[in-house]
Amino acid sequence: MVHRPTPHSGDARAKESTPATSTADTPHDTPLGPDSGQGSSGGLWGGRFADGPHPSLAALSCSTHFDWRLADVDLRGSLAHARALAEAGHLSQGEYERMRAGLMAMRAKVASGALTPSPRDEDVHSALERLLIEEVGEELGGKLRAGRSRNDQIAALIRVYLREEADRLRSNVLAVVDALMGQAESAGQAIMPGRTHLQHAQPVLLAHYLAAHVWPLLRDLERLSQWDERAARSPYGAGALAGSSLGLDPELVAADLGFTSVEPNSIDATAARDVVAEFSFICASIAMNISRLAEEIIVFNTKEFSYLTLDDGFSTGSSIMPQKKNPDIAELARGKAGRIIGDHAGLLATLKALPLAYNRDLQEDKEPVFDQIDQLGVLLPAFAGMIATLTFHVERMASLAPQGFALATDVAEWLVRRGVPFRSAHEIAGECVRVCESRGIELWDLTDEDFASISPHLSGEVREVLSAEGSVGARTGYGGTAPERVAEQLREARRAADAFRSPSGGHSTGERPAR
């Protein structure tokens, strides 16, 4: 019986290399042939072909320039697969220990950058097999491929990679949530104009507005957690599409890689990329929600609004205009959102018409999500810093909050509380607005005689609701902008955010279940 390995430290992330000039990913049933430099020294096929591929095919097929980032994940998969081979009797104890030592040595070299692919390697899988053979010899190294295809291999490993990236993404989103919550909790009962159609609508608390941007991000985090439940099923053991005949235990490999179960259908396991597409959608949703807030920051930062000031450390200047202080982080958030949404749309277009099971098109599933991960990885920390250091001009916002007839709804609801049907109350409040507009005054400037002439239902007592503070304080329904309700929302949001800080479980570093 093979001994149970001990945990390995580190989540070594491979340094990327640029060994080739192509843009395609790697095939998983049709790699390069022997004349491409992929022969018995490391290629994963070739015997069926009399000649090697044309150089243009070799260039098109090469993908190590982007899939080398999966090198450490690939090696961890190989560690788990080697143990499954040994448990099934396809490796002796000594062979397993030598192979394990070789794979661990390779992990260390990948982490340090000492191990990189050759320009002649087709993909991360073939590169690592070639390097393993160099490490442990061809006879032993050549045994590792038994019982697995690159089809089930990549289907499993992309899940491992994305699940770990999801942890990092979660932390970055939480940093933005924390920045928004910190500003909301500091805002107290400061009032600002609430807007619909970018027009004055009703006064709201600044904290209420900031919390409104927290909840969509919390829903994105909820989506990540729900996605992980589906991503936690391992495709390993599905082979090319029909499964394995070697008696390997897919549950063993699944546990070693941190999965909770195994996909029940081998054809679906190798062909499906909905897990990748769902992750991509979540990235697009995060970018969209960040972009919505970014647009408001850009507008609120203008001289015309003057709601807020950006910290110098999170702003840029102009090469010609000395006075400029530009909201570049917010603008880049808008721009990158378009790019990230485009990545998602491109991925869906790739997947939309693929027959079962594996198809070469699936080589194109990785670059879109890799780009989304990279873009959010640089955007979110900068965005969180910008939010955390904003200065809000609460006096300016408070002075504007009741303007633009933002208290007209309060007039209507004052009438409703006195038995006037809302349809009539709406008309009466609208007539108040019309009179004010014709005279260039605000609602609170109307006299008792003005109110009486507009409607016998009105009197000077309506002035009790004609203040931003009174309007905000009256909105006591659940989720509303009254101070006590906003405080309630912030407590609830903080609890929700804190719940996401407790991971559902770590991920394996190579051989041992982390759950």
Residue 509 CA neighbour count, 13 Å, CB half = 13
Got the DSSP string for 334-358? HHHHHHHHHHHHHHHHHHTTPPSS-
Q: How far is CA 375 from CA 200, 216, 301, 502, in A?
A: 35, 19, 24, 25
Amino acid at 453: S
User: Is there a contact between 176 and 387 (Cβ–Cβ < 8 Å)?
Assistant: yes
User: Is there a contact between 186 and 394 (Cβ–Cβ < 8 Å)?
Assistant: no
Q: Of how many residues is the chain composed?
A: 515
Is 318 in the active site? yes
User: Is there a contact between 384 and 175 (Cβ–Cβ < 8 Å)?
Assistant: yes
Catalytic position from the list 56, 197, 438, 502: 197
What whole-number distance in Å separates Cα of residue 33 and Cα of residue 479? 64
Is 65 in the active site? no
Catalytic position from the list 112, 186, 306, 318: 318
Max Cα distance, the chain (Å): 101
Query: Which SS3 state, helix, strand or coil, does residue 512 take?
Result: coil
In 14-133, the DSSP E strands lie at none
Query: Which SS3 state, helix, strand or coil, does residue 513 take?
Result: coil
Query: Cβ contacts of residue 415 below 8 Å, gap of 6+?
Result: 424, 425, 428, 429, 457, 458
What whole-number distance in Å separates Cα of residue 119 and Cα of residue 116? 10
CB atoms within 10 A of CB 21: 9
Question: Rg (Cα) of the chain, in Å, rounded?
Answer: 30
Would you name the residues annotated as active-site residues?
Answer: 197, 318
